[in-house]
Amino acid sequence: MFIPAIQKTKILVALAVFNYMLFFIASSDYGIITVHSRGYEEKKEAVSIMNDALEELKRYVRKDKPKDNKIDLDIDPDTTGLIFNVSSKIKTGTGDLKAKQTTLKPNFAALIVDLLFDAGVLSGDTIAVGMTGSMPGADIGLYSACKAMNLYPVVISSVGASQWGATDPKFTWIDLENHLFKTNIINQKSIAASLGGLGDCLRKKGTIGGDKARYFAERAIRRNDVPLIRYEVDTLKKNLRLSINKRMKLYTQKVDSSSYSAYVNIGGGAASIGVGGKKKIRKPGVLLKDEIDRYRIGYSVVREFSKMNVPIIHILHIPQLVKGIIPYGGPTRSPEGEGPLFSVERYNLFITLLCLLFSIGSVIFIGFHSHKQINERTATYEPESIL
């Protein structure tokens, strides 16, 4: 009985095995290539710097703690020592614990490098920065990114911090920053500092703020040799405007405003993003003038820089900012220097096309051979006469 090649079981099995081998080759290390992301080297360097900073600060913060006073793993599962559960007057309000945990992951520094590239910032550029004590991890990440990218950040900080941030009066953000500067882990530190909190002068609200809070904040600023942004407590709105005016003056005195490549806001400081800015500016990341105009934020440093067409990098709303990039909260952390921020795996186009051609060719060859067999069989076949 005549059976063309294309219908023979052993031929079909061999064809299936051959194509499976081609698929295996295309999916193996030979067929998969790793493509590094933009700024790969800078990101790796930023992660390394942030790692060093976290280790140094952990020693610094823990050095005067009793040995049996262990880090609370429930709030600080990555054992950074920089999640502060301190009832303090300089606390400015409630905070998101998972957001604070997330910004303390070293890969967060690489995310900031990515944002700086998105904003068009290049090596050697100068950027303006406004940061608070609420997210020490994000502050450290910014300094790490700047050092890795060879940037010059002009930074103004505020001492006040929301819950889980740098709320310990002995270890305010200004203390942490100054220690990193003295140990040469970061290249710059704040050119000035405000008190932060309500009215940017820690105006009393319930059990937080007030004279005692201002005493602790000013003491921290003085002991770290940072100029204080003077304040007037009596009129809340007036002081906020005074603080914004002073900040803009400091930025422009340090560097001509047209020389700034970006303004980076970290946290929810009212002087930086305006009263209610946290709710009004709903999108984190890089924001251009048109977007800032649509949000209609009040008088603020962000609005003033935006009016000069300086790109804004808004580091807030952390769940949205890190989605699909860095694990949010908890002990889960991507391997440092790995993940979508650093590289992606793609099929090797040459190997894939070659395997595809061999696959199609094998099917065509068997089909052509079978067609030839059928034609030859038809030409030589003489059915017996039934007459």
All residue ranges of the chain with pLDDT < 50 are 68, 385-387
**pLDDT value at residue 351:** 77
**pLDDT value at residue 67:** 56
Return the HEC string of the chain.
Answer: CCCCHHHCHHHHHHHHHHHHHHHHHHHCCCCEEEEECCCHHHHHHHHHHHHHHHHHHHHHHHCCCCCCCCCCCCCCCCCCCCCECCCCCCECCCCCHHHHHHHCCCHHHHHHHHHHHHCCCCCCCEEEEEECCCCHHHHHHHHHHHHHHCCEEEEEEECCECCECCCCCCCCHHHHHHHHHHCCCCCCCCCEEECECHHHECCCECCECCHHHHHHHHHHHHHCCCCECCCCCCCHHHHHHHHHHHHHHHHHHHCCHHHEEEEEEECCCHHHHCCCHHHHCCCCEEECHHHHHHHCCCCCHHHHHHHCCCCEEEECCHHHHHCCCCCCCCCCCCCCCCCCCCEEEEECHHHHHHHHHHHHHHHHHHHHHHHHHHHHHHHHCCCCCCC
Model pTM greater than 0.85? no
